Amino acid sequence: MSNEQKFDRRMLEALVCPETRAPLSYDAKTGELVSKAAHLAYPIRDGIPIMLVDEARKLD
């Protein structure tokens, strides 16, 4: 089962970037939550967003 199938998109309404407190968007292609303000992508593992800056991937 892919991350997209497990991730409940309604969670986006409650989640914000821990770095900037900005809203997040879901990138279905990478299966990550993206903070455009912080230029970070937070992974989703087993349907659970990992909202740790140290675990986030930096975006170009």
Domain ranges for the chain: 3-58
CATH of the domain spanning 3-58: 2.20.25.10
**Which distant-in-sequence residues (6+ apart) come within 8 Å of 30 by Cβ?**
41
**Which distant-in-sequence residues (6+ apart) come within 8 Å of 43 by Cβ?**
31, 32, 49, 50, 55, 56, 57
User: For 11-40, what is each residue's pLDDT tens digit?
Assistant: 888 999 999 999 999 999 999 999 999 999
Q: Give the global pTM.
A: 0.85
Tell me the pLDDT of the chain averaged across its residues.
89
Q: What is the pLDDT of residue 29?
A: 94
CA 47, CA 1: separation in Å to the nearest integer? 10
Q: What is the pLDDT of residue 12?
A: 86
Residue 57 in tokens: 């991937």
From the list 36, 35, 29, the residue with the least C-alpha distance to 52 is 35
